[in-house]
Every structure is written in C-alpha cells, then in structure tokens.
Amino acid sequence: MVARYYRELLNHLTRTIKDRDSAADIVQETYARVLALQQSGQAVLQPRALLYHTARNIVIDRHRRSEVRGEIVQSDDESENLDMLIASSACEPETAMASSQAVEAMLSTIDRLPVRCREAFILHRFDGLPHAEVAERMGISRKMVEQHIKLAMDACRRCKAELDAPSSVERQTRK
C-alpha cells in the first residue's frame, strides 16, 4: 500500500497545501493512522479512498488548530470564547456519525460508477487535474472527460439529495 499510493498522495497534498514538507508530514501521519487501523484488525476495502479521506481530515484538523492558536494570541482576554472554538459541534458523536455515514454513502456512489467514469472523476476531483490532463492520461477526448465528470457529479448530487431528504419515518413522526 505504501509504495502504491505514497507519491500520488504526496503530490496531491503538495498541490493542495503548497508546502511539500508539510505535505510529507501529513502523508506520514496518514499512513500511520491507516496502518494502525489495519493492525487493529479492521479490514480496509478501499485503501486509496481511506488514505485520501484521512489525509483530508488531518489537513482540516491542522488548519483548525492553527486558527484556534491564532484566535488565542489575538484575544487573550476572551477566554470564554476558547471553549466554543475547541468544542465545535463537529466533534459531537451524532454529527461525527452522520458525517461518517455520508462519506460512506458518497464513496459507495463513486464506487458504483462505470470504471472509466470513476477514473476520470477521481483524477479530476481528488487529484485536482484539469480536464485536458485527464483526457491525455486516459487517452480520450476532453469532451468525453466532461461527460464522465458530469455523470459522476449527477450521481453524487442524487446521493446528497437522498442523504439530505428526511426519511419516511421522520416525515411520519412530524405529522
């Protein structure tokens, strides 16, 4: 797993955060977390997706930490606001569970896409490649890449709409 996705993830993070050293640190932490998960006995069915998702979470965590540190330096007198900064609603178990389920549903939707469509979508959305470069890598026209990405985006929008729609049980209890 390390040899297969390391460079790809490092390049993606370098483009995203614009700092190769920080990107390398994040990749190392990502692999440590995923390997710890594997060693705990949990099966990792989609290692690439898990690596990207874990790396994204680490980037977000680091950004939040740096924001909190910046807020603390700027507002020493406002210690009451510190609790609100640290304990955001994103840390609540219900929110975390819903987010995890939404991610799983979206990954499942992406996984069910036709192979070439999924490949174009991942190259564009996760790897950040422009349509022209995706077309070149896949050996297809730019127009075909656009069609693949549109199909994938439509599938993701439908998945999100289903996730956002209240369930039939919730609708009945409100009546």
Please indicate, yes or no, whether residues 95 and 68 belong to a single structural domain of this protein: no
Instruction: Give the pLDDT confidence score for residue 92 in this predicted structure.
Output: 52
C-alpha to C-alpha distance for 107 and 48, rounded to whole angstroms? 11
Please indicate, yes or no, whether residues 75 and 96 belong to a single structural domain of this protein: no
Please indicate, yes or no, whether residues 122 and 161 belong to a single structural domain of this protein: yes
Please indicate, yes or no, whether residues 35 and 53 belong to a single structural domain of this protein: yes
Please indicate, yes or no, whether residues 108 and 48 belong to a single structural domain of this protein: no
pTM of this prediction exceeds 0.75: no
The CATH number that applies at residue 155 is 1.10.10.10
Query: Which of 87, 106, 135 represents a domain boundary (last residue)?
Result: 87
Q: How confident is the model at residue 1 (pLDDT cuts 50, 70, 90)?
A: low
Domain extent for 155: 91-175
C-alpha to C-alpha distance for 106 and 58, rounded to whole angstroms? 19
Please indicate, yes or no, whether residues 6 and 83 belong to a single structural domain of this protein: yes
Q: How confident is the model at residue 7 (pLDDT cuts 50, 70, 90)?
A: confident
> How do residues 90-108 score in pLDDT, each as one tens digit?
445 565 566 667 778 888 8
> How do residues 110-142 score in pLDDT, each as one tens digit?
889 999 999 999 888 887 889 999 999 999 999
> How do residues 50-88 score in pLDDT, each as one tens digit?
888 888 888 888 888 877 766 444 444 334 433 433 444
Q: How confident is the model at residue 149 (pLDDT cuts 50, 70, 90)?
A: very high
Contacts 24+ apart (CB under 8 A), 140-144: 140/116, 144/120
Please indicate, yes or no, whether residues 16 and 43 belong to a single structural domain of this protein: yes
The two structure tokens encoding residue 62: 């680091």
Please indicate, yes or no, whether residues 81 and 130 belong to a single structural domain of this protein: no
Please indicate, yes or no, whether residues 162 and 109 belong to a single structural domain of this protein: yes
Please indicate, yes or no, whether residues 72 and 30 belong to a single structural domain of this protein: yes
Task: Please tell me the total count of domains within the chain.
Answer: 2
Q: Provide the terminal-to-terminal Cα distance of the chain, rounded to the nearest Å.
A: 51
Please indicate, yes or no, whether residues 7 and 83 belong to a single structural domain of this protein: yes
Please indicate, yes or no, whether residues 24 and 99 belong to a single structural domain of this protein: no
pLDDT higher than threshold 80 for residue 168: no
> How do residues 16-62 score in pLDDT, each as one tens digit?
888 888 888 998 888 888 888 877 777 778 888 888 888 888 888 88
